[in-house]
Structure 1
Amino acid sequence: MIELIKIHTGINLKEEIQTILKKYQIDLKQIYSITVDNGANMLKMVDTKARDQLNNDNDLSNSNENNLSQILFNTSVSYQENVCIDDENVSVYSDEETPEGIDEENISDDISKSFGLSCIRCSAHTIQLAVNMFIKKYLKLDLEKIRIIIKLIKSHKYKRLFIMDKVSKPTLDTVTRWNSTYLMMKNLMDNKTFYTKMGELYPETFISFDLWDIILLGTSVLFPLYKFTMKLQKSNIVIGDFFASWLECKMELEEMDNNLSKSMLECLNIRESYLFQNDAFRSAIYMDPRFHYENGKYPLEEDKILAREHIFATWKQLQAIDPHEENTTLVMPSTSDYKKTKLDLYIERDCKKGPIFYELCNSDIKLKIKSLLYNKRLPSSQDILQYWVSRKHQDAELFKLSQIILAAPCTQVSVERAFSALALTVTSLRTRLDKDILDDILIIKLNRTLLNNVIF
């Protein structure tokens, strides 16, 4: 945790990160991914770090395999000023680096394709973009009407009614935080009888039947997304777990089968296409048998090829750092039958008939990576990290790759928790803490689960 004095440009952020890496003796080529939001300065920072990573390895810069500089160290980068990071909305901006008219939602992910370092967008922010698209297209005008009414009924004139009926006043939503929009509409629905009665007594607060229908549909459509963001508050959310919740959310919207739910589903599908443009994301899905198995529809065939290239590039860089890797034999593990849930059936829907299984014995890492095509599908409730631990002795090479590929953080929840820890540490009575002491305190406070490994 550092305090930034300079303006938050991509170049300045890059220099600060370089200082931190040097302090903890972390080589640039040890970095596998950086998880950021959609801020232009953050994307530029990752871009410049990726270029440095490639240029620092002479062997790789003379080859055409641009994806070889990747490995091991996962970090979620953020900073305190000009930042709003929480589980509902993540936004970072820089007036200097975000010229007027730039569409930050559509900044290309190509920076992660040409260089080794993977830039992962925070999944909470991905949901934010999808919901924002939905609200702007289908709810904007109705929400403006709702906000006008809520501003009116929050006035002192109606305070007595809320006290007599023991109803809490609705909270006006924050436009940049869609969860607050859901909670605002939910408060109206939960107290519909009260607000209907108020509308009869005071016609200026009357909510029309058409608007009530919109509030009902909007609340029901946003509820699966709201549950989704609550799940993302957990620690250690791997990309596969995020994608399972993503598909579960889509499944619930399909079951609603109304115009608004279909529109929300359309917005999610648009954002999903962006997710699979990321090397780290599609590689994590490729190594997750809950989604990737023979004849499965995730990922797409072209994405499977790109994922294999990325995973092999990661392996090459791993060999460059740790060449003493034993060569083991791969035998596809058998899994017992399991009771399929609704999500399992949803994942298997529209898949080809099959699957076909093979038992492969080989020692070539390329073949081992390709052999993941023949995995038997795991139930959606399976802990993917425990699954790969169970394969540790069957194939140490793929296990080691899984520890890297699946470790990429898909959210910035850890950043929010770090800010909370900072607020509890730097109190009004401890404002003169030396920055190095503060850093040491936070290292211990935020990594308590690791202390058993370093304290004897």
Structure 2
Amino acid sequence: MSKLLQEMQQDNFSNDEDIETDYAESNSIQSQIASVFSVVRCAAHTIQLAAYDVLKTIEGDIKECRNIVKILRTSVRSGNVEISLPCLDNATRWNSTYEMIKSIISIRDYIDNLSHINVNWIFVQNFLAAFHPIAKCTLKLQHDQYIIEDFFRDWLTCELELKKLVSTNSYAEALLNAMKKRKDTLMGNNAFIAALYMDPRFNFDNTPLLSYDQKQAAVDHLIRTRDMINKIGKPSEDQYGNSSPDLPTQSLPQDELPSTSKGIYDILTLHVNAMRNAQGPTPQRGEMAFKERLAKLCDREMESFDSNILDNFRKLYRNDADMLQLMEVVLAIPATQVLLKERSVHFQQY
């Protein structure tokens, strides 16, 4: 796809007299590409917002823990005590607060022997129990091959873990509510639900994870994305947005045909089959045919949540260029803004 964009850009700038017009068109193309790749906010930011929704309600308890850590760091250094130095958090990463409080409980035996420090251990234990699932989910965002659908899988898993704690942990209940609220924002983004729609772990026969309206919105987004791919990279398309297949211009070599035949039409049958194999899969024509193919994605069996979806999709649609290109754009949306920028920059360089 990057090669297609390169060809298009070369054509755009081939005439010096049209530089300004072509530059504006190029910017428009880049803007459309960005709209396809973006999911409003990256997953890392969304889950961080959910955590901050709860952290801001317990600022007093967190501040108390922070002051204790400062005292402990001074005490450990001055006393040359052989224990792990507790860590301080920072304002830009919520999970640094989780790590700070975890570092407190890791030296509880030492703290309990200090008469001048009084830790609210009930708060510490409940906080760690509630934020542990979301901390695990955040940690997975550091993986290089972590796509948005994997993130949503782990988001749902995090919700289930928090649900188990709700009856005994008020922080877990607050986190669960915050995540559900932020999830509504994610599910309102067409690029996000389009990625889920193509993933058989979320879109399958009678799925409870996507509503009818969400499926329709996803299909509309996928068709627009496919039109974008065609507009950028398929110059010889017909009015339906499909490339016209090349017809064979010469007969197959004579030595490919049998010299004798049991039936009068055997040679013709073999010849037509050879022509069919040579031309590859029959191209789908028209938007309706493509919509029907997308609709069939709802009839699949549910796949395991630990499946490698990208590899499975490439194998399943190895002979379907349209679906493969669509998968590369929609299904492989990265879960972090860093990876999204890397892919976008790489794409725009060609």
Instruction: Please confirm whether the aligned pair reaches a TM-score higher than 0.5, indicating the same fold.
Output: yes
AA of the residue aligned to 2:106? D
Which position in structure 2 is the counterpart of 1:276? 187
Q: Distance in 2 between matches of 1:317 and 1:372?
A: 21
Equivalences, count: 281
Q: Distance in 2 between matches of 1:415 and 1:287?
A: 19
Is 2:37–2:329's contact at 8 Å kept on the other side of the alignment?
no
Alpha-carbon deviation of 1:185?
Answer: 0.5
User: Aligned runs of 1:189-208 on 2, under 5 Å?
Assistant: 189-198=105-114, 200=115, 203=116, 205-207=117-119
Alpha-carbon deviation of 1:130?
Answer: 0.7
Cα distance, 1:241–1:328 mapped onto 2, change above 3 Å: farther
AA of the residue aligned to 2:73? K
Is 1:329–1:363's contact at 8 Å kept on the other side of the alignment?
no
Which position in structure 2 is the counterpart of 1:384? 309
Alpha-carbon deviation of 1:305?
Answer: 1.0
Alpha-carbon deviation of 1:26?
Answer: 7.8
User: Deviations 1:290-333 (Å, cap 9, x if unpaired)?
Assistant: 01112112222221111110001112222333233776489xxx
Unpaired runs of at least 5, structure 1: 1-20, 29-51, 58-68, 75-111, 331-361, 419-438, 444-456
Secondary structure of the residue aligned to 1:154 is helix
Alpha-carbon deviation of 1:70?
Answer: 5.0
Alignment partner of 1:265 is 2:176:
yes
Secondary structure of the residue aligned to 1:217 is helix
AA of the residue aligned to 1:238? I
Which position in structure 1 is the counterpart of 2:260? none
Which position in structure 2 is the counterpart of 1:124? 44
Alignment partner of 1:140 is 2:140:
no
Which position in structure 2 is the counterpart of 1:231? 140
Unpaired runs of at least 5, structure 2: 10-23, 238-242, 246-280
Alpha-carbon deviation of 1:247?
Answer: 1.2
User: Deviations 1:142-178 (Å, cap 9, x if unpaired)?
Assistant: 11111222223333x55354x33x1122122113311
Whose radius of gyration is greater, 1 or 2?
2
User: Aligned runs of 1:66-215 on 2, under 5 Å?
Assistant: 70=32, 118-137=38-57, 139-155=58-74, 159-161=77-79, 163-164=80-81, 166-198=82-114, 200=115, 203=116, 205-207=117-119, 211-215=120-124
AA of the residue aligned to 1:407? A
Greater fraction of residues in strand: 1
Alignment partner of 1:250 is 2:175:
no
Is 1:328–1:395's contact at 8 Å kept on the other side of the alignment?
no
Alpha-carbon deviation of 1:363?
Answer: 7.8
Greater fraction of residues in helix: 2
Secondary structure of the residue aligned to 1:274 is helix
Cα distance, 1:379–1:127 mapped onto 2, change above 3 Å: same
Higher RCO structure, 1 or 2 (CA under 8 Å, sep 6+) = 2
Q: Distance in 2 between matches of 1:26 and 1:133?
A: 47
Is 2:163–2:176's contact at 8 Å kept on the other side of the alignment?
yes
Secondary structure of the residue aligned to 1:398 is helix
Q: Distance in 2 between matches of 1:415 and 1:314?
A: 17
Alignment partner of 1:374 is 2:299:
yes
Which position in structure 2 is the counterpart of 1:313? 224
Secondary structure of the residue aligned to 1:266 is helix
Is 1:328–1:363's contact at 8 Å kept on the other side of the alignment?
no
Q: Distance in 2 between matches of 1:158 and 1:120?
A: 45
Q: Distance in 2 between matches of 1:301 and 1:247?
A: 20
Task: Give the counterpart of 1:399 among 310, 315, 324.
Answer: 324
Q: Distance in 2 between matches of 1:249 and 1:375?
A: 26
